[in-house]
Structure 1
Amino acid sequence: IGVVFFCLGMVLGMPFWSDFIFTIGLIVAMVPEGLLPTLTLSLVLATQRMARRQVLIRHLPSVEALGSTTVICTDKTGTLTQNRMTVTALWLDGSLYGDLEHGLPVGIAQANAPFFQVAGLCHDLQQTGPCESLTYLGDPMEQAMLQLVNRIAPQTCPIARLQELPFNAERMRMSVVYAMADGPRLLCKGALEKVLPLCTGQWRDGAITPLTDECRARILAAQTSMADRGLRVLALAWRDVEAGQMPVEQTLVLAGLVGLQDPPRPEVPGAIGACQAAGIKVIMVTGDNPHTALAIAREIGLVRSDAPQVLTGAQLLQLSDAQLQLALDAAEIICARIAPEQKLRIVETLKRKGEIVAVTGDGVNDAPALKSAHVGIAMGLSGTDVAREVADMVLLDDNFASIVNAVEEGRAVFDNIRKFLTYILAHNMAELIPYLGFVLVKLPLAITPLQMLAIDMGTDTLTALGLGVERPDPQIMQRPPRPPGERLFNLGVALRGYVALGLFEALATVSTFIFVLQRGGWTFGDTVAFSDPLYHQATTGSLAAIVVLQVVNVFLCRSTTRSVFDTGVRGNPLILWGVALEIVLILLFTYTRWGNALLGTAPLPFEVWLFLLPFALLLIGLEEARKAFVRRRCPSP
């Protein structure tokens, strides 16, 4: 724009240096110098608000990215649930015991000693504290099983651990070898579908019996029954190992099944409902049994239909990329028994579909998915250092509801940036038009470059920052995510900032300038020296006009659609402090010697302030009419 008008000035015959100074002033008028610090401070303050809502932001741009999220891929355990495991069901001796509150039949612990031996010893818990108050640290699932053992069949004799075959996502089981009194014994626990194929026998009525197809069917039915209650099901098995022989997870004896309850977090159903109202799809991605995942999903309101899309890791292996894209189009999706590399594939597929993806993770193997997602979300309590290092944000409480809070804040940040952008653009137009009048109609320059900088970097800074920390609109989570390609500076922002608000402010500025000049005896066509006291007073009138209308404008910009009488003047102390600062600064610039010397201003008579009052009231009326029209045309959801 500066270059265009420099060339225009040369065509109109302006002297080179006058044209050059005019161009510099034009650039000063058009560039919002206060935008960058306001933008940065707005993002920083948003991260502080998020921290108070249990969300730690590691990268500032992710604040804005959260607001455009269309899909959240979330873990189940510890994020949707409380990660507080309790053993509530057992399958022993061919019978299902689904209510442990009333205890087990007499003698069942002695008859199923191998089961309680596996449950009490096959773990990676760490002992801590003195002997009289010994506690265990580690996986809540293993803690729950140990508590069951200590209550029903406590292990008294210390036993040496010889070897461990650790758990991993592919094996989905762990085994340990202990030196028992009658020789080494391998103890195994894991997912039934990984343990049962390794078993050739089962413990029944105090003895090892063959594991027939009919027995396998009953075991699988027992698992389904527990999983349909939302329980996490583990199979426990064992085998004796000959001394000096390598332990092998084969020809195991199934000791029984254990069902653990992990209740959903009470605030999660409301958070799921908020996501659905906001047009955000939530996909559960878990390593648990599909029946367990589906039961929890129904309990928290993630699934309401009779036939949701349930994808397992085994099914995912059979799907092509195109088939997976089609499968992910379903409204309700549960992904169960998913390996970390499959989680990454789901994220990549959603990105190819044009979705803005946020994904949660806590383990080392989740790092690729966290890094690939638009917003990687690590767990602060249960997450590993690797997961937190690659993530964009960290949940300090591991709670899914905190993600929804972060999305709300992210949307608010984007809206707030547009608010203070509109606010800044309005006075830029009021600074531009006087320069055009100076060149095109030979009007004396109504405002000097130094006065414009005083507005951009002085009077408007705190009020613009106040708009940057506005509270989220009450309807912000009841509208769909903005399109991924939508720019911050769009046609609506330009029309409102430059036209609806900016042209009116420019009209008030030029009118006030001419009013002060004519009050001093000036007539159109006369020249005024830059050193003339009347010129100083007239430019001060222009400066005052912009500041007064920006005081009104800051309250109008608090919402693009809500009435100023609805948003009011309270609720944002920073805006009130900014308005107070604007008033103090314009009075100092106008009525103090150092202000006059610094900016080339002069004291204004009271009549000039009265002249500005109708412009302020008319701006409110015009903007209220525009907002009412928008509300009628596009009613809130």
Structure 2
Amino acid sequence: RMTTVHAASRGGMRVACTKGAPERVVASCHQMWLAGAVIPLDERAVLAQAERMADAGLRVLAVAVGIDQRAPGDPVEALEDGQLLVGLVGLLDPPRSEAGDAVRTCRAAGIHVVMITGDHPATARAIAQRLGIVRARTDRVLTGGELALLDDAALQAVVDHVRVYARVAPEDKLRIVKALQAHGEYVAMTGDGVNDAPALKRANIGIAMGREGTDVAREAAHMVLLDDNFATIVHAVREGRHIYDNIRRFVRFVLSTNAGEIWTLFLAPFLGLPLPLLPIHILWMNLVTDGLPGLALSAEPGEAELMARSPRPPNEGIFAHGLWQHAVWVGLLMAALALGTQAWAIRTGNAHWQTMTFTVLTLSQLAHILAIRSERRSLFALGVTSNPWLLVAVAVTLGLQLMTIYVPAMARLFRTAPLTAGELAACLGISSVVFVAVELEKYLVRRRGLYAEG
């Protein structure tokens, strides 16, 4: 509640005006104003009316006035004794239209949205139901008074099930954040006031409001929300998951292709084969074959089910969900195809064996990057043209690879020889085995759930 004192226009009196929570203001009043008359206060009826207004989603304030009759030395609180209740004010502060959709998206993404407010419990419940934070009137709303009766252990026992806190004090927010963290939750906390600073600081991600937030809140937070819009946080989560997926795609691609090159060079002597690649071939693959398509992976659009996954555990490594196993077996497969091509060409007396080995390994990497655009979904389900930049990168890389074979100046530099149409077709066919194998792996993942995406 808040009380201000004003000098009356006549008589030299001082008038005290109070506004605040109905249960606080009504408790200090003895009379009420009704239909132009002063009558005895019916506290039960007034609070019932306030409850009905709160049930409708209104933020309710009670307004009272009184004469400042304090004697010297009386406490300031004496201003509020024996006041006249003037009435109730209902304030409609509807959530933004996109807030409900954002909450539903959070629910689908496994993110629990918790409302912490100083509003009346009925108001908090009505707004929470409108947004989808709670689904039924029977869902528990924990008040600040109830929270004060719970010790830390008791709060931890219920915090995972409570989605709305009402009539809370600023220090309660810090207790709620600590209890959620003790329960194993990763907490993002929003706030704008000075009193929110401790909770913002303690949260795993403190988010201060950029427009309405205080300087103290912004200093304590880890990030600032410039438009004060909850839906923007959800967009940020989506973008974060998208970026992380693209990082995993790039790591998967680079590890697999480099493993293929390493296994090819390492295993050839043990198989009694001559050196399959020259240093310039390795340099070419690292700079061109890996570089251009790898950069194009950053333009990979987010998958449709991006916000339908559960959050990743905070301690989960980037090699989780089978990434390192994939890199090992795909690298071995690429090496097997390259060395098999080399051995077959040498046995058949083909003088172009090194060029064919170089080409198979290069084209295998291009086939691999087309297949790993998703860890679960088939390339054909994604749409071949959904990432045009990758298609351009693959086409350019393929063109450059063919130039190393068929352009005389580049062929001399790379010590390659022009392949016949049959030899080139054989290289393309052998390289496509990588694409088929990775698509089969994804099919098994979808059917058996070998490596669930985070």
State which drifts further: 401-410 or 216-225.
401-410
Give the unaligned 5+ runs of structure 2: none
Aligned residue for 2:362?
A: 547
Alignment of 1:73-472 (within 5 A): 173-182=1-10, 183-204=13-34, 206=36, 211=41, 215-241=42-68, 248=77, 249-251=79-81, 252-330=83-161, 333-449=163-279, 451-472=281-302
Q: How far apart are the structure 1 equivalents of 2:363 and 2:197?
A: 53
What is the SS of the residue equivalent to 1:447? Answer: coil
Judged with a 3 Å threshold, the aligned counterparts in structure 2 of structure 1 residues 580 and 355 are, in CA distance, closer, same or farther, namely same
Shift of 1:520: 6.6
- The alpha-carbon deviation at position 244 of structure 1 amounts to 11
Aligned residue for 2:334? 505
Q: Distance in 2 between matches of 1:334 and 1:270?
A: 18
Give the distance between the partners of 2:3 and 2:96, measured in 1 at CA: 31
**1:622 matched to 2:442:** no
1:156-187 CA distance string (max 9 Å, x none): xxxxxxxxxxxxxxxxx233333331233232
AA of the residue aligned to 1:374: N
Change (3 A) 1:184 1:593: farther
Offset of residue 307 of structure 1: 2.0
| Counterpart residue type for residue 370 of structure 2 | F
Task: Rate the CA distance shift 1:321–1:559 in 2: closer, same or farther, 3 A.
Answer: same
Which range moves more in the overlay, 388-397 or 230-239?
388-397
Distance, in Å, in 1 between the alignment partners of 2:396 and 2:425 is 21
Q: 1:518 to 1:187 in 2, by over 3 A?
A: same
Secondary structure in 1 matching 2:17: strand
Letter in 2 for 1:385: D
After superposition, the C-alpha distances for 1:296-333 in whole angstroms (9 at most, x for unaligned) are: 11222222234212111111111111111111132x52
Q: Which runs of no fewer than 5 residues in structure 1 stay unpaired?
A: 1-172, 523-533
Residues 566 and 198 (structure 1), Cα distance of their counterparts in 2 relative to 1, 3 Å cut: same
- Are residues 1:583 and 2:398 paired? yes
Contact map agreement 1:516 1:608 (CA 8 A) in 2: no
The alignment partner of 2:16 has SS state of strand
- Deviation, 1:356, is 1.6
In the alignment, what sits opposite 1:142? Answer: none
Task: Say if 1:178 and 1:184, in contact at 8 Å, map to a contact too.
Answer: yes
Distance 2:18 2:137 in 1: 36
Question: Which residue matches 1:53?
Answer: none
More displaced 10-residue stretch of structure 1: 452-461 or 314-323: 452-461
Tell which deviates more after alignment, 450-459 or 306-315: 450-459
Match in the other structure for 1:602? 416
Deviation at 1:479, TM superposition (A): 2.9
Question: CA distance change for structure 1 residues 454 and 376 in 2, over 3 Å: closer, same or farther?
Answer: farther
Alpha carbons of structure 1 residues 384 and 570: separation in structure 2 relative to 1, 3 Å? farther
Structure 1: distance between partners of 2:389 and 2:219? 34
Which residue matches 2:446? Answer: 631
Q: Cα distance, 1:426 vs. partner?
A: 1.6
Alpha-carbon separation, structure 2, partners of 1:591 and 1:180: 99
Q: How far did 1:582 drift?
A: 1.9
Q: 1:544 corresponds to which letter in structure 2? A: T
Report the identity percentage.
41
Counterpart residue type for residue 398 of structure 1:
D
2: CA distance, partners of 1:445 / 1:478: 49
User: Aligned equivalents of 1:381 and 1:364: distance in 2?
Assistant: 14
The one-letter amino acid of 1:196's match is V
Once the two structures are overlaid, the 10-residue window that deviates more, 244-253 or 408-417, is: 244-253
Residue 493 of structure 1, CA deviation? 0.8
Indicate the SS of the match to 1:281: coil
Contact residue 361 and residue 431 of structure 2 kept, 8 A: no
Query: 1:184·1:243 contact (CA, 8 Å) conserved in 2?
Result: no
Task: Tell me how far 1:292 sits from its aligned partner.
Answer: 0.2
1:605–1:238 CA distance, 2 compared to 1 (3 A): same
Amino acid in the other structure paired with 1:219: V
Conserved 8 A contact 1:309-1:327 = no
Aligned AA (1:436): F
Separation of aligned partners in 2, 1:233 and 1:604: 84
CA distance in 1, matches of 2:209, 2:251: 34
Residue 588 of structure 1, CA deviation: 5.0
Residue 514 of structure 1, CA deviation: 4.3
Task: Give the match's secondary structure for 2:227.
Answer: coil
Aligned to 1:132: none
The two structures have a TM-score, normalised by structure 1, of 0.63
Q: Deviations over 1:373-405 (max 9, x none)?
A: 222223233223333344344434323233222
Distance 2:279 2:25 in 1: 78
Letter in 2 for 1:181: S
State how far apart, in whole Å, the 2-side matches of 1:339 and 1:450 are: 68
Q: Say if 1:370 and 1:464 are closer, same or farther in 2 by CA, change over 3 A.
A: farther
Q: Is 1:555–1:568's contact at 8 Å kept on the other side of the alignment?
A: no
The alpha carbon displacement at 1:227 in A equals 0.5
Rate the CA distance shift 1:365–1:450 in 2: closer, same or farther, 3 A. Answer: farther
Q: Secondary structure at the match of 1:282?
A: coil
Q: TM-score, normalised by structure 2?
A: 0.87
